[in-house]
A and B are shown apart, each in its own frame.
Chain A
C-alpha cells in the first residue's frame, strides 16, 4: 500500500528557509498531484500548494513568492522550500496525494505530518 513520509528539520530560525521532503513508498509518484498542507497548533488546515509529477505547480496565493516545490520522480520524492520564515509558519506540515477527476478533487493519502517550529 502506498505510504507517504515527511522529513525535514523540526526547528528553523526566523528569516531562514524551510526544506521538507515527502517520500512516497509502495507506489509510483507518476501521474498524480502531490500537495503540501499545514496546520498551526489548534487551528485548521491550510493548503500550501501542489505539484504534478510532470513538475507543474500551483501554490496558495498567500504564499506566492516564498514557495518553491520540486519533484524527483526517480527517487519517488517531492519537496518544498519555504523562504523568509516567521513564527506564523510554525505548524505541522503534511504531504498528501491529490486526486482530480473532472470537478472532483480530494486527498486520498496523507503522511503523518512533521512539526516545524520557527524560533531563534
Chain B
C-alpha cells in the first residue's frame, strides 16, 4: 500500500519536544519529506530527507525514519511552530506522489 497515515492532531507545551509521525509500508522503499502549513499560507518544505532541513528552517526541527515509520521532531517548540504538518513520498509505482492526511500541531 502507498497510503501514509498521520495522527490528526498533536499538542505540545511551549518549549517542550514533540514528535509528529507518518506511517506506511511505502516508507520501507522511499524517503519521506515534511511540510509545514500555517493558516492561509501555502505549504513550506521543512525536511527533504535528502538535504536535511530546508533553507531557513530552524535547527530545532529534525527528521528520522525507521522501517515503515518516519518522524519529524521539534525540540524546544515555539509558538510559531503551530501549524499543520504533512508527510509526502512517492507511491509504489514510483511515478506518483502521495501525502499523509496531515497533523495539526497545537502549542499550549
| A interface residues with partner B (beta carbon < 8 Å) | 35, 37, 44-47, 50, 58-61, 94, 98-99, 101, 103-113
Are B42 and A104 in contact, with the CB atoms below 8 A? no
Q: How far is the CA of A106 from the CA of B70 in the complex (A)?
A: 15
Shortest CB-to-CB span from B104 to chain A, Å, is 10
Are A45 and B48 in contact, with the CB atoms below 8 A? no
Chain B residues contacting A113 (CB-CB under 8 Å) are 42
Chain A residues contacting B98 (CB-CB under 8 Å) are 47
Are A58 and B33 in contact, with the CB atoms below 8 A? no
- Chain A interface helix/strand/loop/mixed: strand
Chain A residues contacting B33 (CB-CB under 8 Å) are 104-107
Shortest Cβ-Cβ A-B pairs, 4 listed: A106-B33, A104-B50, A106-B48, A110-B42
Chain B residues contacting A109 (CB-CB under 8 Å) are 45
Chain B residues contacting A37 (CB-CB under 8 Å) are 99
Q: Within the complex, which residue of A98, A106, A110 is in contact with B49, where a contact is CB–CB below 8 Å?
A: A106
Q: Within the complex, which residue of A94, A105, A108, A112 is in contact with B97, where a contact is CB–CB below 8 Å?
A: A105
Chain B residues contacting A58 (CB-CB under 8 Å) are 95-96
Contact A61 to B96, CB < 8 A, known contacts A44-B101, A104-B50: yes
Are B31 and A104 in contact, with the CB atoms below 8 A? yes
Q: How far is the CA of A50 from the CA of B96 in the complex (A)?
A: 8
Contact A46 to B43, CB < 8 A, known contacts A99-B48, A107-B33: no
Q: Within the complex, which residue of B49, B96, B100 is in contact with A104, where a contact is CB–CB below 8 Å?
A: B49
Chain B residues contacting A112 (CB-CB under 8 Å) are 42
**Interchain residue pairs with CB less than 8 A apart (9):** A44-B100, A98-B97, A105-B30, A106-B33, A106-B45, A106-B49, A106-B50, A107-B88, A108-B48
